[in-house]
Amino acid sequence: MEKLSSKEIRNRFLKFFENNQHKIVTSSPLVLENHPSLLFVNSGMVQFTPYFLGEKDAVKDFGNKMLVDTQKCIRTNDLDIVGKSKYHHTFFEMLGSWGIGAYSKEKAVELAFNLLTNEEYGFGLDPGKFIPTVFAGSDEAPADEDTIKAWNNLGVKRVSRLPASENWWAPGGLTGVGPCGPCTEVLYDRGPTFGDEEETPGLTDNPRYLEIWNAGVFMQYNRPTVGGKLEKLKMLSVDTGAGLERITTLLQGVDSNYETDLFSPIIEKILSLSDLELNKEDENIKFGLQRSADHLKASCFIIVENVYPSNKDQGFVLRRMLRRVVDDFTWKLKINPIRITQIIPVIVDLYKIQFPEIDQQDLIKEVIETELRAYEKVVNNTRNYIKRTYVSKSREIENPFDVYQSTGSSKELIEDLAKEFNLKTDFSNFDARLKKHQELSKGSDQRFKGGLANTGVEETKLHTTTHLLHKALRDTLGEHVQQMGSNINPQRLRFDFSHNEKMTRDQIKKVEGIINEKIKQTLPVVRVEMSKSEAEKSGALHFFKDKYGDTVSIYFIGKDINSAYSKEFCGGPHVKNTSEIGKVRLVKEEGVGKGVRRIRAELN
Ligand code: SER
CA distance linking residue 183 with residue 162, whole number of Å: 10
- Kindly give the number of the ligand 1 atom that is closest to the alpha carbon of 171: 1
Please give the distance, rounded to the nearest whole angstrom, from the Cα atom of residue 432 to the centre of ligand 1: 36
Question: In this predicted structure, what is the pLDDT of residue 485?
Answer: 80
Q: Whose CA is nearest to atom 3 of ligand 1?
A: 241
Residue 15 φ/ψ, nearest 5 degrees: -65, -40
Ligand 1 pocket test: pick from 214, 219, 247 the residue with the most ligand atoms within 8 Å of its Cβ. Answer: 214
DSSP states along 533-559: HHHHHTT-B--TTS---SEEEEEEESS
DSSP states along 76-124: -TTTTTBTTBSS--SEEEEEEEEEES---HHHHHHHHHHHHH-TTTS--
For ligand 1, say whether the CB of 555 is within 6 Å of any of its atoms.
no
Cα dihedral value 108, 109, 112, 115, nearest 10: -100
Please give the distance, rounded to the nearest whole angstrom, from the Cα atom of residue 242 to the centre of ligand 1: 8
- Kindly give the number of the ligand 1 atom that is closest to the alpha carbon of 44: 6
**Coil, helix or strand at residue 518:** helix
Please give the distance, rounded to the nearest whole angstrom, from the Cα atom of residue 546 to the centre of ligand 1: 24
CA distance linking residue 187 with residue 397, whole number of Å: 48
For ligand 1, say whether the CB of 185 is within 6 Å of any of its atoms.
no
For the sheet with 596-603, list strands across it.
Answer: 483-489, 492-498, 596-603, 584-593
Ligand 1 pocket test: pick from 48, 52, 92, 169 the residue with the most ligand atoms within 8 Å of its Cβ. Answer: 169
For ligand 1, say whether the CB of 43 is within 6 Å of any of its atoms.
yes
Cα Dmax for the chain: 78
Question: In this predicted structure, what is the pLDDT of residue 450?
Answer: 26
Residues 6+ apart with CB under 8 A from 66: 17, 20, 21, 22, 23, 97, 98, 99, 100, 102, 103
CA distance linking residue 109 with residue 130, whole number of Å: 13
DSSP E strands in 224-341: the ranges are 231-243
Please give the distance, rounded to the nearest whole angstrom, from the Cα atom of residue 522 to the centre of ligand 1: 51
Q: Whose CA is nearest to atom 6 of ligand 1?
A: 241
For ligand 1, say whether the CB of 96 is within 6 Å of any of its atoms.
yes
Ligand 1 pocket test: pick from 88, 100, 133, 217 the residue with the most ligand atoms within 8 Å of its Cβ. Answer: 217
Question: In this predicted structure, what is the pLDDT of residue 46?
Answer: 94
| Residue 533 near residue 516, CB atoms below 8 Å | no
Residues 6+ apart with CB under 8 A from 142: none
For the sheet with 551-557, list strands across it.
Answer: 525-531, 551-557, 566-569
Question: In this predicted structure, what is the pLDDT of residue 382?
Answer: 93
For ligand 1, say whether the CB of 169 is within 6 Å of any of its atoms.
yes
For ligand 1, say whether the CB of 171 is within 6 Å of any of its atoms.
no
For strands 584-593 and 566-569, give the pairing.
unpaired
Cα dihedral value 108, 112, 115, 118, nearest 10: -110
Which residues, given as ranges, of the chain have pLDDT below 70? 195-202, 438-455, 543-548
Please give the distance, rounded to the nearest whole angstrom, from the Cα atom of residue 93 to the centre of ligand 1: 12
Residues 6+ apart with CB under 8 A from 193: none
For ligand 1, say whether the CB of 27 is within 6 Å of any of its atoms.
no
CB atoms inside a 10 Å sphere around CB 38: 15
CA distance linking residue 188 with residue 208, whole number of Å: 8
| Residue type at position 364 | I
CA distance linking residue 512 with residue 520, whole number of Å: 12
Q: Whose CA is nearest to atom 2 of ligand 1?
A: 241
For ligand 1, say whether the CB of 444 is within 6 Å of any of its atoms.
no
Please give the distance, rounded to the nearest whole angstrom, from the Cα atom of residue 43 to the centre of ligand 1: 6
Give the DSSP H or E segment for 187.
strand 178-189
For ligand 1, say whether the CB of 507 is within 6 Å of any of its atoms.
no
CA distance linking residue 91 with residue 226, whole number of Å: 28
For ligand 1, say whether the CB of 182 is within 6 Å of any of its atoms.
no
For ligand 1, say whether the CB of 95 is within 6 Å of any of its atoms.
no
Q: Whose CA is nearest to atom 4 of ligand 1?
A: 43
CB atoms inside a 10 Å sphere around CB 98: 30
Q: Which residues pair with 582 in a beta bridge?
A: none
| Residue type at position 153 | N
Over residues 240-280, the pLDDT tens digits come to: 999 999 999 999 999 999 999 999 999 999 999 999 999 99
Residues 6+ apart with CB under 8 A from 563: none
Please give the distance, rounded to the nearest whole angstrom, from the Cα atom of residue 218 to the centre of ligand 1: 10
CA distance linking residue 190 with residue 123, whole number of Å: 15
Please give the distance, rounded to the nearest whole angstrom, from the Cα atom of residue 52 to the centre of ligand 1: 13
CA distance linking residue 303 with residue 362, whole number of Å: 11
Threshold 0.75, pTM exceeds: no
Please give the distance, rounded to the nearest whole angstrom, from the Cα atom of residue 259 to the centre of ligand 1: 24
Question: In this predicted structure, what is the pLDDT of residue 399?
Answer: 84
